[in-house]
A and B are shown apart, each in its own frame.
Chain A
Amino acid sequence: MDTLVQLLDATVRVSVPLLLACLAGLYSERSGVFDIGLEGKMLAGAFAGAAAAAAFGSAWIGLSAAILVAVFLALVHGFASITHRGNQIVSGVAINFIAAGSTIILGQAWFRQGGRTPSLAGDARFQTIDLPGAAAVSDVPVLGPIYSDIISGHSILVYFAFFMVPFTWWALFRTRFGLRLRAVGENPAAVDTAGISVTWLRYRAVIITGILTGVAGAYLSVAQNAGFVKDMTAGKGFIALAALIFAKWKPVPAMFACLLFGFLEASSIRFQGMDWPLVGRVPVQLINALPFVLTVILLAGFIGRAIPPKAGGVAYVKER
């Protein structure tokens, strides 16, 4: 029981950056701009967040810096792929490289700790929040641990991430902005002839992507961990993209996909070095590879056809 509670608690923690990045990608891709640079924006955000939090001793300033930097990179992607109709994959890959390289160089130049930022403590880090009554109900069988250990006791960013799921659903399917966003990812010409600016709509989507990846980065370095370590995103941006496809670009399934991938990651950490009946000790590498293997298997066979937004990846050019 304890093991399971701990495993699920860990699942929530490791799912959050996936979820934020996945929702970030959802806004961009629903508008027709493919974004393979989620990873890079998250990494740059994590670095900027940790650096600013260390410099000013405030987690909130860290978060703002993370969002600022990620939005800037998102705008670079927008400028290349919306305004200049460049190849969206190339632009995304470039952003990943820029983030991977510059975070190490700047980290070394500023802090001289081998690419790390100084360890964060106190107000410089997002602390966990105990929800009201968490301690009181912790002895209630089953429901008690679920509330006090799994639901309560996370940082504010965790609650923000899960709040964004119903919010994104509402924004997408119940607001004018959402209708237009979905339309521009399917048929930008229809949006253009309806008298709506395709460019401005896509830029807004890309900015939202920047904000959410920034929060994801800040979560990694200022909440989950106490500082930035080089390459700390470790492929999460790509797993988030896989989750997005797995969820067929819908917010609620996206949450479940991220929880599933989070669960796999949490189990791989949990079961490292354990002896299993019959098979004995499973190599760590194999367990670490499990989420990726499962991703490939799930994507290859189990989800049916995932149909991306029809205009995704294609710059909008008015036809002559």
Chain B
Amino acid sequence: MAPAAIELKGINKSFGAVHANRDIHIEIPKGTIHGIIGENGAGKSTLMSILYGFYQADSGEIFVDSKKTEIKTPNDAIAAGIGMVHQHFMLVENFTVLENIILGAEGSQLLNAGIARARAELHRLEKDYGLEVDPDAVIEELAVGLQQRVEILKALYRGAEILILDEPTGVLTPAEADHLFRILRMLKDEGKTVVLITHKLREIMAVTDNVSVMRQGTIVATRKTAETTVEELAELMVGRRVLLHVEKGEPKPAEVKLSVKNLTVKDSRGVTMVSDVSFDVRAGEIVGIAGVAGNGQSELLETIAGIRKAISGSVLLDGRPIDVTGAADPGELRDRGLAHVPEDRHHVGLVLPFEENENAMLGYHDDAKFLNGPFLNIEAIRADAREKIQKYDIRPADCRLKTANFSGGNQQKIVLAREMEHDPGVLIVGQPTRGVDVGAIEFIHKQLIAMRDGGKAVLLVSVELDEIRSLSDRILVMFDGRVVGERGPDATEGELGLLMAGVEAREAAE
């Protein structure tokens, strides 16, 4: 085995009562791609932040190239040859690529010399690794994939020998992700060491040499990727057997519940986000909308839910129109049997400082069962919340706890329970499992299938292609505001990926 590029010994880190990292030992051989996989909150990001000097470990030692290294600040990490590509890009959006790359590594008090040097160096990196990007482009005008490339270039410009990537593919199309993996392999061939943090098993299998699995702050196993399976890793992550494939029967589509006709929506800047979109959703089926984030899915969902105005077009719910171009009222839509699980549960779906029981009925607070004359019936509300906690296995099972104190998965279950238990005819769901751990994903998927089998119409928007493919009975792909294709659930990932990237179906067939 190659000598270790990084060795961590006995790392411990606590935030208050939370023991985020517990006696971590890990050895990452030089010139390999090492995956670190685990559920949200397993401690992956904390561990990498310690390695990059963002936090300091309470105890433990870090060895870089077999030398004990004190990493107290990002500066120490950079000096030790460690670079990091953060999940949320650390870029100044109205700066050019060059300005972002030299920030913190300008070289001298005046900028001109540093910029000239960076331009030459960038040119070299571009040639060596195929990392092309216009050095004078302004970041906010670049596609997300290119922004990520700038982050990688930033690290390489600082002479990084060890590159840490934190959930790098969340914002990429499958094609962009493949390109990223090619770049990572190229970096590996050049002798660099890559650490890839992810919760996507598929990526681990596709690109890593070794993989460490984290669960509840500890490393539970390290395997050679070639000698393990997706099923084994999933079981290690969750600590029990997980059903990766959603089991579902044949759909029994019945009458049309939701009908969207020629819908066009513009955002606040006047940019067309949804352009002439038409489709139907029938009772007893799940229609999935696939697409890279930002191609109009969010706006489509919000318009149907009555919280965003359309420019033109119509939406029919049970054959009766929703006034989408005028004053559609989300409350009225709820009464008509349309339930909405919003994409952003923190800002739209929940009021985080409220108690769980308050969120569990928010929006339905005018229902007779929650009222006692003009007042809220607190007892009834809490009893109802306890019932939902039981049924949806929400943990901790305390309806008086502040909602902010629940994990992402449990928060999502609170929203789902609220919307599903109201027995809607139509359920529209955005990103049901974003930031949700594997165990909860399994549960949420089962619930959605149960809704379908109960004869409800479900419209699902997700950027997770796997999720769309395993749940949907029909898949619509959105690109640049338009529906560019419809496929069955048996469509291959490559086929959908091309559609998502805007390549026309005809070309895809060739």
Contact = CB atoms under 8 A, between A and B. Distances in A.
Interface of A: 173-180, 182-183, 186-187, 189-196, 310, 318, 320
Contacts of A179: 99, 102-103, 106, 111
A203 B84 CA distance: 27
26 contacts: A173-B111, A175-B110, A176-B106, A176-B109, A178-B111, A179-B106, A180-B103, A182-B92, A182-B95, A183-B92, A183-B99, A187-B92, A187-B93, A190-B92, A190-B103, A191-B103, A193-B84, A193-B90, A194-B74, A194-B103, A195-B74, A195-B75, A196-B104, A310-B93, A310-B94, A320-B15
A186 B104 contact: no
A183 B99 CA distance: 9
B109 A186 contact: no
B380 interface: no
B210 interface: no
B74 A176 contact: no
Of all A-B residue pairs in the complex, the 9 with the closest CB atoms, nearest first, are A194-B104, A195-B75, A190-B90, A176-B106, A193-B90, A195-B74, A186-B92, A183-B92, A187-B92
B69 to A, nearest CB: 15
Interface in B263-296: none
Interface residues of B, number: 29
Interface of B: 15, 52, 54, 73-75, 78, 84, 86, 88, 90-95, 99-100, 102-106, 108-112, 114
B110 A176 contact: yes
B54 A318 contact: yes
Contacts of A196: 103-104
Nearest to A318: B54
A192 B49 CA distance: 13
Contacts of A194: 74, 90, 103-105
B86 A193 contact: yes
Contacts of B92: 182-183, 186-187, 190
A193 B74 contact: yes
A248 to B, nearest CB: 12
Contacts of A174: 110-112
A280 B362 CA distance: 63
A191 B112 CA distance: 20
Given A190-B90, A190-B91, A194-B90, A176 B114 contact: yes
A173 B99 CA distance: 11
A194 B114 CA distance: 15
Given A176-B108, A190-B100, A190-B103, A195 B73 contact: yes
Nearest to B112: A174
Contacts of A192: 74
Nearest to A184: B92
Contact of B95 (A177, A183, A195): A183
Given A195-B74, A320-B15, A187 B90 contact: yes
Contacts of A173: 111
A180 B99 CA distance: 10
Given A179-B106, A190-B100, 19 more contacts: A174-B110, A176-B114, A180-B103, A182-B92, A182-B95, A183-B92, A186-B94, A187-B91, A189-B90, A190-B90, A190-B91, A190-B92, A191-B103, A195-B75, A195-B104, A196-B103, A310-B94, A318-B54, A320-B15
A176 B118 CA distance: 14
Most buried by B among A174, A180, A192, A194: A194
Contacts of B93: 186-187, 310
A173 B115 CA distance: 12
B112 to A, nearest CB: 7
A215 B95 CA distance: 32
A194 B75 CA distance: 7
A235 B382 CA distance: 54
Contacts of A310: 93-94
Most buried by B among A173, A175, A176, A186: A176
A173 B110 CA distance: 10
Nearest to A307: B94
Contacts of A187: 90-93
B110 A186 contact: no
A45 to B, nearest CB: 29
Nearest to B84: A193
A183 B104 CA distance: 10
A188 to B, nearest CB: 10
A83 B109 CA distance: 26
Nearest to A173: B111
Nearest to A185: B92
A183 B103 contact: yes
B109 A175 contact: yes
Contacts of A320: 15
Contacts of A180: 103-104
A186 B99 CA distance: 13
Nearest to A311: B92
Contacts of A182: 92, 95
Most buried by B among A179, A182, A183: A179
A191 B73 CA distance: 12
Nearest to A177: B109
A173 B111 CA distance: 8
Contact of B111 (A175, A183, A186, A318): A175
A81 to B, nearest CB: 21
A179 B105 CA distance: 11
B41 to A, nearest CB: 11
A194 B110 CA distance: 18
Nearest to B54: A318
Contacts of B52: 193
Contacts of B100: 190
Most buried by A among B74, B84, B92, B111: B92
B78 to A, nearest CB: 5
Nearest to A309: B94
A179 B94 CA distance: 12
A187 B94 CA distance: 10
Contacts of A195: 73-75, 78, 104
Nearest to B83: A193
Nearest to A192: B74
A318 B49 CA distance: 11
Contacts of B15: 320
A222 to B, nearest CB: 33
Contacts of A183: 92, 95, 99, 103
Contacts of B84: 193
A29 to B, nearest CB: 15
A142 B58 CA distance: 74
Nearest to A186: B92
Contacts of B95: 182-183, 186
